[in-house]
Chains A and B, each alone.
Chain A
Amino acid sequence: MRELRALLARDIGLMWQKRSDAAQPMLFALMVCVMFPLAMGSEPARLAQSASAVIWVAHLLAGMLVLDNLYRSDFEDGSLEQLLLAPVPLPMVIASKVAVHWLTTALPLLVLTPLLAQLLFLPMNLLPVLMLSLLIGSLLMSLIGAVVAALTLGIRRSGLLLALMALPMYVPVLVFGAGSVWSAGQGLPWLGAIYLMCAGLVFLIVLAPWAAASALRLALS
């Protein structure tokens, strides 16, 4: 336990030192939500219709932007080798890295979301549904991303491959996440999609760290 605390503290400290990097997804999502009305026209009713979809896509792409940072610096300076040989199980190391990654990139974005919703005239009654779907969705995307980033770690410039591999796996998350907000907007029951996402989350919390661990061992060999 103490080892994991040390690892968490180290990663949070590192993120704090590179906080301009961590702010990148926030800035990206903000830019998308500012540019969108410029392209679409600023009629509130039309914007309100597409607001949740735009915010969801902005979240998804902003998350992709920083996915490669998850292991890259540890891989390049040899820290990952040392973590592999540390008396902490590798899946736990990965779980802690994903937790820090989510806390420092997805959580700030979630905090920003009410502002984005205001920018795009999202009806206020949909905001809680949007926030809930994004909360679960961002956790799902972080866990999926951890596996994909581990798989592509051995390749030097893996940005394109990473996107190609991650996007198809993000699609169901997007469909159910944005779909739940859409259903709520139509006055339909929306909890079903959320429940399905929760089921996926349970599944991935159990499996993703192990899958990423074997992928990392491969990447390092």
Chain B
Amino acid sequence: MSAAIAALIQADALCFSRNAERIFGPLDFQLEAGEALMVKGDNGSGKTTLLRVLAGLLPPESGEIRLGGKPFSRDTFVQLAAYLGHRHGHKAELTVLQNLRFTASLHGAVSESHLETLIGECGLAGFEDTPAGKLSAGQNKRLSLARLQARPSALWLMDEPYANLDLTGIDWVNRLVQHHIAAGGGALISTHGAYAAPAVPVRVLEISRSAAHA
């Protein structure tokens, strides 16, 4: 391979089937540092499944995933990437600050001032001590996006990051992605396509049930 920098994530002939029914694939794509890949498709087209396969939560039926040039393994994924699922992934009983602090300490050092900044940036200032269960759906999304930033990872796998957000929220997510990509990261974003894309180099991967066109 002559490429100077290996792609952050690369899929070769990736297929996934459930109960003998092909959900997607074969898919070929790659995502390099400094760009975003929008996975577009209708509801039920397999976007979430694709992201779960890429995160290693589901085993692919066939094909290969390479992370930073290396074959996929849980350890390389943990080092390189962060996954934002369609479920929030934080506890409703814990406060905003406790949830953020837990994510940060699970992934390394905790800096309280950094957490405060994150809470301010995601628009939850004043809600630090509110249990996440008392927040609205959009605010919960903001918190999970803040959790994504509470740890350093080059690749963001984001499943419907725009869901439940208001217009300023969508704008904020786009700025987040822009900032992340300007800093040399990459983002793989699944969306059903009704939102404005971030102003960054974007590749689009359209998927539909059992057929995909990159």
Could you tell me which A residues sit within 8 Å of B by CB distance?
A: 2-3, 6-7, 10, 13-14, 17-18, 73, 76-79, 81-82, 84-88, 220-221
Q: Are B88 and A10 in contact (CB under 8 A)?
A: no
Given the complex of chains A and B, what is the CA–CA distance between A86 and B106 in angstroms? 7
Could you tell me which B residues sit within 8 Å of A by CB distance?
A: 52, 55-59, 74, 77-79, 82-83, 85-94, 98, 102-103, 105-107
Q: Are B90 and A79 in contact (CB under 8 A)?
A: yes
Residues of B contacting A73 with CB < 8 Å?
Answer: 91
Given the complex of chains A and B, what is the CA–CA distance between A79 and B83 in angstroms? 11
Q: Which residue of B lies closest to A18 (CB)?
A: B93
Majority secondary structure of chain A interface residues (helix, strand, loop or mixed):
helix
16 residue pairs A–B, Cβ–Cβ below 8 Å: A2-B105, A3-B106, A6-B102, A77-B88, A77-B89, A77-B91, A77-B92, A78-B85, A78-B87, A78-B89, A79-B89, A81-B57, A82-B89, A85-B57, A87-B106, A220-B57
CB contact under 8 A between A87 and B93, given known A2-B105, A78-B87:
no
Q: Are B59 and A14 in contact (CB under 8 A)?
A: no
Which of A14, A76, A85 has a CB less than 8 Å from the CB of B83?
Answer: A85
Known A79-B89, A82-B85; 13 more pairs at CB < 8 Å: A3-B105, A3-B106, A6-B105, A6-B106, A13-B98, A14-B91, A78-B86, A78-B90, A82-B83, A85-B57, A85-B74, A87-B107, A221-B59
Which of A13, A81, A84, A85 has a CB less than 8 Å from the CB of B94?
Answer: A13
Q: Which residue of B lies closest to A83 (CB)?
A: B106
Given the complex of chains A and B, what is the CA–CA distance between A200 and B62 in angstroms? 40
Specify which of A18, A78, A85 lies most central, judged by the most chain B CB atoms within 10 Å of its CB.
A85
Given the complex of chains A and B, what is the CA–CA distance between A71 and B88 in angstroms? 16
Q: Are B88 and A85 in contact (CB under 8 A)?
A: no
Q: Are A17 and B105 in contact (CB under 8 A)?
A: no
Residues of A contacting B58 with CB < 8 Å?
Answer: 221
Residues of A contacting B105 with CB < 8 Å?
Answer: 2-3, 6
CB contact under 8 A between A10 and B94, given known A85-B77, A221-B59:
yes
A73 to chain B, nearest CB (A): 8
